[in-house]
Structures are given as C-alpha cells and as structure tokens.
Structure 1
C-alpha cells in the first residue's frame, strides 16, 4: 500500500497520508511521498491542495519511532518546495509533533471537534526547530504555553489561537476542507496565488525556515553531475565540462 496517495479533480489536488494502521505516523516513505506530492502540486495545474489522512484516529501521530525519518522537514508544506498555491489541512484526529508542524505551516486548516494537537518535544528532549516559527501564525503566549508544557490542545483552543480556521463535527473535516478548496479553485488563480505570495512574504521567517530552502539548493549541488565532473576534471587535470545537471 502506498504511504501517500495523490488524486486530482476539478483543479483540486487531494493528498492523503495512507498509514491508518500506524496512526499515519511519518516514516521515510511518508517523507518521500509528501515531498514528491508537493513537487507535483507545485508544477501541475491544480489550483488548491487538500492534505488529509486515512482512518478516524489521527491526522498524524508524528515521527514513526519504528522507522525514524531522516529529513522530516522535506514532508512539510511550504518549506522545501516553494508554492504560491494554497494548501489546506483536514484534521480528523490527533496531530502529534511533526503532524502539528504540518498544520502550522499549511495555509488553512479544518479540524474535527474531537481532534487534539500535541507537541511533546519538550517532554522528550528533542526539537527539530521548525515549530519555532509559530509566532506569526499562532498567538505568541498561547503558543509558547502549548509548546513548553507539552499538554494536549483541543480543536476549539486551536481555533481560538489561530492554528485552525474552523472546527466541524466528527467526520466532516474533509468535506468542509473540500468545500473551501472548491470555492478557491473557482476563483482567479493568478489573484489567489498573488494573495498567498504577498501574504507569506510579510511573515517573518524563523532561522530554520530560512535555512531549509537553502539546504535544498545545496543538497542539489552536492549530488549533481556537475560536482562529480568538477572533481573528475581536477583529478584528471583537464578543463571541466559542466552541463548544469
């Protein structure tokens, strides 16, 4: 079974974390699948993306402790793949750790009333740093309390502090998220994309948000054919023949 599914209809990309048996925990396959999904969404014609999860228990239980992802930041919306098209999360249950980070970095979010948001890093002594970029997106004092205590946060509280747009009855998150996406997909795409681009450019970026896009560029260079050619030409004492690949 594929960890990430991608379907497209009427200008809307529907992306699903498909590991219900593991409460949609993020492993290396999920990271790779989401990275590919964000790249596909950015380059293809869909106007809006809706990110959801299989099953009823969890949007995501966070990093999979049985298969720890190496570069979980690659799974994050709006981080490793620049994109001016809106991304909406539909939250059907628990959102833990990196699952909550995905919601924070998305453009909009719809949560079911039973959903809970948990960021346990302070309790376990681990912190990747991406969630530190929360202040432009969540109320500062409320966000710090949530992160530093590690206590679960209800969907209603997440709405009150700005983490989610709407709280809906159980089983309705995807339906409502798709309704929002349908309205947006019917609007002028150039205007919608300009709105997101300008709005996001007004947000201060945390050091991690500034670093990771640069890392994508640097990783591409370190794995490029040009780098191999440069090393080979130096060893062989000849001019390099770079191709930009």
Structure 2
C-alpha cells in the first residue's frame, strides 16, 4: 500500500497518510511521500491542500519506533518546502509528537471532538526543537504548559488556545476541512497567496526552523558526488570536473 496518496480535484489537493494499521506513524516512506507531496502542491495548479489520515484511531501517532525516519522534518508542512498556498489539517484522532507538530505548522486545522493532542518529549528526555516555535501559533502560557507537562490535550482545549480552527463531530473533520478549502479555492489565488506570504513573513521562527533549511543544504553538499570528485581530484593532483550533483 502506498504510504501517501495525492488526489487533485477542483483546485484542491487531498493528501492522505495511509498507514492505519500502524496508527499512521511516520516512517521513512511517509517522510518521503509527504515531502514529494508538498513539492508537488507548491509547484502545481492546486490552490489549497488538505492533509488527512486513513482510519479513525489516529491522525498520526508520531515517529515510527520500528522504522525511525532519518529526517522527519522533510515531511512537515511549511518547513522545508516553501509554499504560499494554504494547508489545512483534518485531525481524526490522536496527533502525537511529530503528528502534533504537523498540525501546529499547518495554516489551519479542523479536529474531531474525540481528537487528542500529545507532545511527550519532556517525558522521555528528547526535544527536536521545531515545536519551540509554537508561540505565534497558540497561546503562550497554555501552549507551554501543554509541552512541559506532556499531558494529552483534548480538541476543545486545542480550539480554545488556537491550535485548531474548529471542533466537529466524529467523522466530519475531512468534510469540514474540504468545505473550507473549497471556499478558499474559489477566491483570487494571488490574493490568497499574498495573504499567507505576508502573514508568515511577520511570524517569528524558532532557531530550529531557521537552521533546518541550512542543515538540509549542507547535508546535501556533504553527500554530493561533487565533494567526492573534489577530494579525488586533490589526491590525484588534477583539475576537478564538477557536475552539480
């Protein structure tokens, strides 16, 4: 089964995580699939994207401990793929760790009433850093309490502190998100994109958000054929022949 599907209809991209048997945990296939989906959306004709997940149990239970993704940040919306078009999350169950981070980084979110948001890193002694950029996206004191305690947060509380736009009955998150997406898709795309671009340009970013794009670029250089060619040419005392790969 394909981990990620991308369906396009009436200028709306529906992007779905399809690992219900693993509570839609994020493994390397999900990371790569979502990264490609964000690139396709950013460069394509679709005007709005809705991110959802298959099954009723979880939007995403976070990183897959049986297949830890090498770079989970590649799959995050609005992080490593520049995009001025709106991205909406439809949360249909538990959103844990990296799953909760995706909701935080999206432009809008709809949650079903039984949804739970959990960020457990304080309880396990790990912190990747991107969630530290939460203050512009939800209330500071409430958000900090949620992160520091590691306690589960219900959908209504997530709405109250600004993590999600609205709470809907069970089974209606996707329909509600698509309804909002349709309204946006009918509007002037240049104006919609300008609104997001200007809004995001005024939003402060965490140090991790600022550093990650540079890290990805530098990692690519460190793993490039050009680096190997440069080292080989130096050892062989000849001029290098770089290919940009």
Q: TM-score range by the shorter chain?
A: over 0.9
Alignment RMSD (CA, Å): 1.2
The Cα of 1:124 is off from its aligned counterpart by: 1.4
The match for 2:7 is 7
The match for 1:233 is 233
Deviation string 1:8-47 (CA, Å, 9 cap, x unpaired) is 1111111111011111111111111111111111121111
The Cα of 1:239 is off from its aligned counterpart by: 2.3
The match for 2:22 is 22
The match for 1:155 is 155
Whole-angstrom distance in 2 between the partners of 1:118 and 1:205 = 22
Q: 2:185 aligned with 1:181, yes or no?
A: no
Whole-angstrom distance in 2 between the partners of 1:3 and 1:141 = 36
The match for 1:93 is 93
TM-score, with length taken from structure 2: 0.96
The match for 1:44 is 44
Q: SS state of the match for residue 38, structure 2?
A: helix
The match for 2:219 is 219
Whole-angstrom distance in 1 between the partners of 2:104 and 2:244 = 35
Whole-angstrom distance in 1 between the partners of 2:24 and 2:69 = 13
Whole-angstrom distance in 2 between the partners of 1:202 and 1:222 = 33
Give structure 2 stretches of 5+ with no counterpart.
Answer: none
Deviation string 1:40-92 (CA, Å, 9 cap, x unpaired) is 11121111110000001110111112222221111111111111111100000
The Cα of 1:240 is off from its aligned counterpart by: 2.5
Q: 2:33 aligned with 1:33, yes or no?
A: yes
Q: 2:104 aligned with 1:68, yes or no?
A: no
Give structure 1 stretches of 5+ with no counterpart.
Answer: none
Whole-angstrom distance in 2 between the partners of 1:42 and 1:223 = 26
Whole-angstrom distance in 2 between the partners of 1:47 and 1:177 = 14
Whole-angstrom distance in 1 between the partners of 2:109 and 2:148 = 23
The match for 2:206 is 206
TM-score, with length taken from structure 1: 0.96
The match for 2:112 is 112
